[in-house]
């Protein structure tokens, strides 16, 4: 039986500049993540909200640990705080190499969950995982609300 591994963490976003610069930087993180994670068999979700990131990484243990090593060294965030790490029976995020939840709608609620995660509340890991499952959307959907297009796609 294949043994999968999961790491769930949150961190403080360390990207300076306007919202356009932040959006471009997050897009570049997503591009690199999609490429690397697809190759390594890692799936997951990335949440960016209220100055924080939360990310879940799932896949073969070596691949998840390699990715997480690189991520922890990245200067675009700080205070990387692990909320869950360990074996899992199956993936909760099987369908994409990395997805993204933005700052609007449910994403704003996620900021509250992230705040409790940083304050060390014991239920925060479960709450954050549930939140990620609920708000992570396909990354093509998140640019629209941030760049406020003239014509809504919905």
Ligand X SMILES: Cc1cc2nc3c(=O)[nH]c(=O)nc-3n(C[C@H](O)[C@H](O)[C@H](O)COP(=O)(O)O)c2cc1C
Rounded CA separation 14/105 (Å): 23
Single out the segment in contact with ligand X by CB under 6 A; choices: 25-33, 86-94, 100-108, 118-126. Answer: 25-33
With binding defined as CB under 6 A, does residue 38 bind ligand X? no
* Among the listed residues 62, 70, 88, 133, the single contact to ligand X using CB under 6 A: 70
Which residue stretches of the chain are H helix?
Answer: 19-40, 61-72, 106-118, 124-135, 143-147
Shortest Cβ 152–ligand X spacing (Å): 28
Single out the segment in contact with ligand X by CB under 6 A; choices: 66-74, 88-96, 130-138, 144-152. Answer: 66-74
Question: How much of the chain is in helix, strand and coil states, percent to nearest 5?
Answer: 45, 25, 30
With binding defined as CB under 6 A, does residue 32 bind ligand X? yes
* Among the listed residues 5, 10, 77, 135, the single contact to ligand X using CB under 6 A: 77
Site residues (CB under 6 A) for ligand X, limited to 78-97:
none
With binding defined as CB under 6 A, does residue 63 bind ligand X? no
Rounded CA separation 83/127 (Å): 10
Could you give the dihedral angle defined by the CA atoms of residues 89, 93, 97 and 103, in that order, rounded to the nearest 10 degrees?
-140
């Amino acid at each position: 039986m294949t043994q999968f591994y999961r790491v769930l963490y949150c961190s403080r976003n360390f990207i300076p500049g306007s919202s356009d610069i932040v959006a471009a930087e997050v897009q570049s993180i997503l591009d690199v993540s999609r490429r690397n994670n697809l190759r390594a068999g890692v799936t997951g979700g990335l949440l960016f909200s209220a100055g924080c990131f939360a990310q879940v990484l799932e896949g073969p243990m070596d691949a998840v640990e390699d990715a997480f090593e690189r991520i922890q060294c990245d200067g675009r965030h700080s205070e990387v705080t692990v909320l869950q790490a360990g074996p899992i029976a199956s993936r909760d995020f099987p369908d994409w190499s990395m997805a993204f939840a933005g700052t609007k709608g449910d994403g704003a609620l996620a900021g509250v969950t992230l705040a409790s995660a940083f304050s060390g509340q014991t239920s925060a890991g479960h709450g954050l995982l549930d939140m990620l499952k609920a708000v992570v959307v396909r990354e093509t959907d998140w640019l629209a609300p941030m760049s406020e297009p003239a014509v809504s796609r919905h």
